[in-house]
Structure 1
Amino acid sequence: MGVPRAFPHLKMRQRPVNISNFKGSTIALDVMGYVVKGHYRMMKTSGLADDNTLPDSTPGVISSVEDIVRTIVAAGCVVYLVADGKKLPKKAKEHAARAKKRENDLVMAESCFQLGLKKEAKKYLARSTVISPATVDSLKGIAAKFPGKCFYFGALFEADSQLGYLAQNNLCDLVISHDSDMLLFGCPKVLFTMNTKGWGFYYEAVDIPTALGWKKYSYEKFLKMMILAKCDYVKNIAGIGIARAQKIIESSPDLSITSILKTVTTLFPDSGIPDDYATEFDEAYFTYLYSAIVDPMKMESTRISPPPLDLTEEYLSFAGYVHSREQTLDIVLGNIYLDSGRPSRNVTDPSNLDELFPPECFFNSMYEHKKEVLEFDVDGWEGPSPNEDDDEDDERPKKFDCVECDKTFDCLSRLLYQTVTHTNLKAFSCHLCKRTFGYRQTLELHMRIHGGVRKSKCDICGLTFTRQDILTNHMAAHNEARPFQCDQCPKTFKTNSCLHQHKEVHLQVRRYQCENCDLSFKRIRELESHKSTVHYKARPFKCDKCEKDFTRKDYLEQHCLAIHTSERPFVCEICNKTFNDSAGLRKHAAVHSEAKPFRCDICPNMTYKRSDHLTRHMKDTHPAKLEEFMAKKKKAKRPPATSTEEPKKKKPLESTSKANIKIHKLSPQLAKLVGQSMMSQIDIVNKINDIVEEKQLYDPNNHLYAFGDQDLVNVLGVLRFKIANVFNLLNRHLE
């Protein structure tokens, strides 16, 4: 993919040159770049099948590559189609990230289909598909159409490193590619993004010092700057792009990674340096220098340049490994499909290469190695920008309208974000705790919690946090200012997030319905707390000083403050009496008020300042009516759902509890865990809660969650799970 922003920073698109200016030269073509570009373009312009899938793009892609080859051959050049080989070990994380991105593109495509945006959906589908192995056969077929002028060349691993070797050893005069990494692999002359008319941007490595303004230039200095700016072999330091990378390299006392990282910390203290970055950086540097490639004249696998003795083959395995001659021949000639190891449909006999390839091809043992580098006179040439030939879709709408509301957006991504707010679609899930999110960025932030890395530290109290935004919210605790005021009541808050949480109190709609009873809640966390404490009887918060346990963390904190400390921080402003919790202070406040809002319905003359006094009166005076009074009191605390819309009908108690009493037949795995083959939902959940309680599997950082032992993990399929939602993980074990 190359380094982001490398083309404008290095001024690589300022000299359009036509391929005809390189007549008589040997060209090495980064052919997979053209395959990917052609595939994407074909997918965007092709029609959709009835099931909203895209057709096979191979014929159209191969046709577009053939047009490029025909243009090169017509200019009087010989061309080698250099194709990618096996996946480079050093790039394993990058390949996994790309696979994840393809999954995300499928989700985005589905969202576009739901919005009726088929044109945009096709683009996401195009990005999510994978090039078929049959492409190798087709590329060899192209070479066969131009005998003596075009040859297929399969690289051991990445085509980039193989192209660098060919260019550095004068086995080709020019490299044609879309990838800025050609310069990192030491290619001295590159024609970038050449189109079917033969126009591309010509760039020479000797132009790099001028573009960067460096009087003293070295390949090591340039290479480490580009790695720091983000390459495919190492995770980027947040906030460091190519411009900042240049500033860091120029300011660093030397080019050691230790010195470079110290300079990063000095110039950009907010940049979070990933763990093991120094090791990853050095491995990326060695990958550019010592990647495994093929010496085509000997047909042997070797490395771009000989590594020093202390860098063993075992250590350098991340940069590819050396193959046997037989394996090397099969890969170079395209005799096997690298994904499966099966023979390709078009096998070339490696035993008679001299008969198959002319002496002008370096696969022939009679090939004479060039001793002089061809020089090209490209000055004075003027031509159209290569991009003018691109058939990009100019009819893409510049405005995107939301079908759910009247809002209009200037880019598709913002519309899709808006769609999530309407549909509550949460397509991105955490593979560790199964929590779901509406946006990929939110999932990425969430994953930092599981990483355990707390790089954001409060300078006042020393607490550390996984994310900068959480630290920002925490800093409000050290500030007395409360700038965020509710527009529906006088309350003020220190942070905007606290204000938004508070505003849910004013909502009349109770959107979250408990499936186990007829109660509904305004907030999802209230529903989860209700399920955990009422239906599953979980009391995960234990006092470490006595045997008591509690359903909620604030109850535990209140208990510790009242029983195990002598602190009484809550002071009455009227009489200066102190209390150990706010509830006690609120009850005491009634003493100083003349109001008696709590009235007995049976003896109306009896009124009380506090509700617990009325309850005591009912217990002493009207014990027969106590149960009815308590039920009425509980109902009064939770008013029915009201809104401007017609409220949804509540499920009758019988139907809502039916799921709980239904007897399920359990899978052998679950039956072994709980000790029975048939159980109801509530019994299953309670049994698992008993296991968590007995083995003390609670998450020490959040007691609403638990970490499963080996038996639980085998059944639930996750390591960490939310106790209130455990039944949702058992569907595959129930009949």
Structure 2
Amino acid sequence: MGIQGLLPFVEKSTRKVNVSEFSGCTVAVDAYCWLHKGAFSCAEKLARKEDTVQYVVYCMKYINMLLSHNIKPILVFDGQHLPAKAETEKVRREKRESNRQKAAELLRADRGDEARTYLQRCVDVTHAMALALIKECRLRNVDCIVAPYEADAQLAYLNLSGIAHLVITEDSDLLPFGCNMVLFKMDVHGNGCLIEQAMLPLAMKQRPEQFSITKFRHMCILSGCDYLPSLPGIGLMKAKKFVMTTADPDISRALTRLHGHLNMPNLVVTPEYRQKFLEADAMFRHQPVFDPITRRLVPLTPLEPGQEMPLSIDGISQETALQLAYGNLDPFGLRKVDDWDP
């Protein structure tokens, strides 16, 4: 999940904080991060399909902590799967199934302690679990939004549009999405690591006026992301070297000279890779999100004249988008699962 090695890479841009520093502010929370951690505590029950709300109790500890500091949380949940991440989702499903089989074998062999590790790895957080948390949040007047697609883009939109001062997540993708302030690794006491976009030049070893969020995003994509695997031998350091040395503003054209910049004569950048790079870039910039003010789908950042969103929203009516955002529709079939109306 996210850009491999990115958080250690930007360590110089990181400072330790307590979330109480943001008292009086609104924060957007990547709810699935908490749900996944909460699911670990009841993995065996979930794997056996037994009734449990232990994961909700886990998440509410964090929510109550934020509320105690006079912080308004907005929980954001994943929506429909992205076609661009179909391969990533396939790999994740296969890993979960493999872990499920290993857990079953260990349980049959009466090796419960070893099986527990694999049970935790095979847990899949469902919309039903998300809805259980959403319903509990409603009782506390805590706002929730189900994204049309990825929570990452929705979180970024809330931050970039000024609705949320800060994003709380475990996913490093929020940095190439362009968020201004992201709090990682927050514990139940509110301690975490804050990264501000304004501090990223430190990690890139640049002066602030030299820093470009576009080049930073291109570096992240080139090193390998959920939308596009990296090329052989390319990690963050080589990706950084390329984006820092190329002066060509046309990234597709610049990629044709990648081997020269990195002194890798055998590196092949195919036209297909260049096209997928542009598609990944568009997903980071213009993925559809839900605007809670106008209650309609909009691109994460404004489109240029003649440009289209990387995903068509023609088949999603305004009412469908609204009901999905409320949590009333299952994202994976748009089947009605609740009828909440604020």
Tell me what 2:152 maps to.
160
Alignment partner of 2:116 out of 122, 128, 137: 122
Measure the CA separation in 2 of the matches of 1:152 and 1:197.
22
Please, what is the CA RMSD of the aligned residues?
Answer: 2.5
Measure the CA separation in 2 of the matches of 1:132 and 1:143.
17
Alignment partner of 1:263 out of 246, 258, 277: 258
Tell me what 1:281 maps to.
277
Tell me what 1:335 maps to.
328
Structure-2 change in CA distance of 1:114 and 1:135 (3 Å): closer
Check whether the contact 1:106–1:125 (CA below 8 A) recurs between aligned residues: yes
Check whether the contact 2:85–2:227 (CA below 8 A) recurs between aligned residues: yes
Check whether the contact 1:235–1:277 (CA below 8 A) recurs between aligned residues: no
The secondary structure found in structure 2 opposite 1:86 is coil
Q: Structure 1 segments of 4 or more deviating over 6 A?
A: none
Is 1:138 the counterpart of 2:132 in the alignment? Answer: yes
Measure the CA separation in 2 of the matches of 1:96 and 1:32.
18
Measure the CA separation in 2 of the matches of 1:152 and 1:193.
21
Measure the CA separation in 1 of the matches of 2:60 and 2:299.
31
Is 1:191 the counterpart of 2:183 in the alignment? Answer: yes
- Spell out, residue by residue over 1:9-39, the C-alpha distance to the aligned partner (whole angstroms, 9 max, x if none): 0017852211211110011111111111221
Tell me what 1:40 maps to.
40
Measure the CA separation in 2 of the matches of 1:252 and 1:116.
58
Check whether the contact 2:324–2:334 (CA below 8 A) recurs between aligned residues: no
Structure-2 change in CA distance of 1:18 and 1:294 (3 Å): same
Structure-2 change in CA distance of 1:233 and 1:47 (3 Å): closer
2:15 partner amino acid = R
1:172 partner amino acid = A
Tell me what 2:61 maps to.
67
Measure the CA separation in 2 of the matches of 1:19 and 1:114.
45
2:220 partner amino acid = M
% of aligned pairs identical?
28
Tell me what 1:105 maps to.
99
Check whether the contact 1:248–1:267 (CA below 8 A) recurs between aligned residues: no
Measure the CA separation in 2 of the matches of 1:69 and 1:288.
28
2:286 partner amino acid = Y
Check whether the contact 1:17–1:201 (CA below 8 A) recurs between aligned residues: yes
Check whether the contact 1:235–1:274 (CA below 8 A) recurs between aligned residues: no
- Spell out, residue by residue over 1:24-77, the C-alpha distance to the aligned partner (whole angstroms, 9 max, x if none): 00111111111112213442xx589xxxx5454851111111111000001001
The secondary structure found in structure 1 opposite 2:175 is helix
Q: Please show how residues 378-393 of structure 1 align to structure 2 within 5 Å.
A: none
Measure the CA separation in 1 of the matches of 2:305 and 2:50.
48
Is 1:247 the counterpart of 2:241 in the alignment? Answer: yes
Structure-2 change in CA distance of 1:111 and 1:12 (3 Å): farther
Alignment partner of 1:222 out of 189, 194, 216: 216
Tell me what 1:703 maps to.
none
Q: Please show how residues 314-353 of structure 1 align to structure 2 within 5 Å.
A: 316-317=310-311, 323-345=316-338, 347-349=339-341
Measure the CA separation in 1 of the matches of 2:267 and 2:11.
27
- Displacement of 1:119 in angstroms is 2.8
Structure-2 change in CA distance of 1:300 and 1:58 (3 Å): farther
Check whether the contact 2:35–2:130 (CA below 8 A) recurs between aligned residues: no
Measure the CA separation in 2 of the matches of 1:38 and 1:244.
37
The secondary structure found in structure 1 opposite 2:167 is strand
Measure the CA separation in 1 of the matches of 2:162 and 2:151.
17
- Displacement of 1:144 in angstroms is 2.2
Check whether the contact 1:227–1:281 (CA below 8 A) recurs between aligned residues: yes
Q: Please show how residues 415-430 of structure 1 align to structure 2 within 5 Å.
A: none
Rg larger for: 1
Is 1:91 the counterpart of 2:89 in the alignment? Answer: no
Structure ranking higher in helix proportion: 2
The secondary structure found in structure 2 opposite 1:15 is strand
Measure the CA separation in 2 of the matches of 1:28 and 1:221.
25
Q: Which has the higher contact order (CA 8 A, sep 6+)?
A: 2
Structure-2 change in CA distance of 1:71 and 1:223 (3 Å): same
Q: Please show how residues 287-686 of structure 1 align to structure 2 within 5 Å.
A: 287-313=283-309, 316-317=310-311, 323-345=316-338, 347-349=339-341, 356=342
2:169 partner amino acid = S
Check whether the contact 1:42–1:57 (CA below 8 A) recurs between aligned residues: no
Measure the CA separation in 2 of the matches of 1:126 and 1:248.
39
- Displacement of 1:143 in angstroms is 1.5
Tell me what 1:232 maps to.
226
- Spell out, residue by residue over 1:621-666, the C-alpha distance to the aligned partner (whole angstroms, 9 max, x if none): xxxxxxxxxxxxxxxxxxxxxxxxxxxxxxxxxxxxxxxxxxxxxx
Measure the CA separation in 2 of the matches of 1:156 and 1:41.
28
Tell me what 1:513 maps to.
none
1:102 partner amino acid = R
Scaled by the length of structure 1, the TM-score of the pair is: 0.43
The secondary structure found in structure 2 opposite 1:28 is strand
How many positions carry a matched residue from both structures?
338
Structure-2 change in CA distance of 1:36 and 1:321 (3 Å): farther
1:268 partner amino acid = M
1:202 partner amino acid = L
- Displacement of 1:130 in angstroms is 1.7
Q: Which runs of 5+ in 2 are unaligned?
A: none
Tell me what 2:174 maps to.
182
Check whether the contact 1:295–1:302 (CA below 8 A) recurs between aligned residues: yes
